[in-house]
Amino acid sequence: MTKAERLEAEIKRTELMKEFDREYKIYGTICGIDEAGRGPLCGPVVAAAVILPDEYNILYINDSKKLSETKREEVYKEIDKYAVAYGVGIVSPERIDEINILQATYEAMRTAIHKLSVTPDILLNDAVTIPMVDIKQVPIIKGDAKSQSIAAASIVAKVTRDHLMEEYDKLYPEYGFAKHKGYGTAAHIKAIKEYGPCPIHRRTFIKNFI
């Protein structure tokens, strides 16, 4: 496939994701919601709420897991530049241990919504319904692969969390956070057993390793 053909294919894919969102335009302003960091052994859970522009196509918005780190960073910068509004919610590992990861994820999502400079009329969520939110919600299974708004939120959440873990790596270099971002890799588990937990480890997640 030539470069021109790849670009044409990406334009078509983007249009399909935008078309999915357009079905909900009858409600008004659409906001996509997604999170990053439910599974890692350490660090915060991060949620993002993103309202995309109607008049500008941001190419390569996709489920963040389907993009390389380089491409995620590129698309994140485009979202940061052209989004109508976006908000980010961050909940600490201490809070995760206190209220459990699901409730912490909901808390991060509510914070992200509250940080929006524009109030949306409908939330498209990746597979969840967020408690204590008055705005109409639609939970969409595998939404980050279907909805452009949810995919954009997945990118913002993932890149934000990755940046945080890279900063934590500078504080606790022995754990390799910059590489595995806190997920339970063999190297990470070995480091926990060797050095013990650090302040950002989720105690409820690592109780079988210490």
Read off φ and ψ for residue 132, nearest 5 degrees. 60, 40
Which strand ranges, in their side-by-side order, compose the sheet holding 30-36?
85-91, 45-51, 30-36, 122-126, 136-140
- Which one-letter amino acid corresponds to residue 48? A
To the question of whether residue 55 is assigned a binding role by annotation, the answer is: no
Number of other residues whose CB lies within 10 A of the CB of residue 107: 21
- Which one-letter amino acid corresponds to residue 110? R
To the question of whether residue 34 is assigned a binding role by annotation, the answer is: yes
Q: How far is CA 76 from the centre of its chain?
A: 11
Looking at the chain, list the stretches that DSSP marks H as alpha helix, in order from N- to C-terminal side: 3-22, 69-82, 93-99, 101-114, 148-171, 177-180, 186-195
Please compute Rg for the chain using Cα positions.
18
Q: Which residues pair with 194 in a beta bridge?
A: none
Concatenate the DSSP letters of all residues of 165-183 into one string: HHHHHHH-GGG-HHHHTT-
To the question of whether residue 134 is assigned a binding role by annotation, the answer is: no
Query: What DSSP state is assigned to residue 42?
Result: B
The annotation places the binding site at 34-35, 126
The annotation places the binding site for a divalent metal cation at 34-35, 126
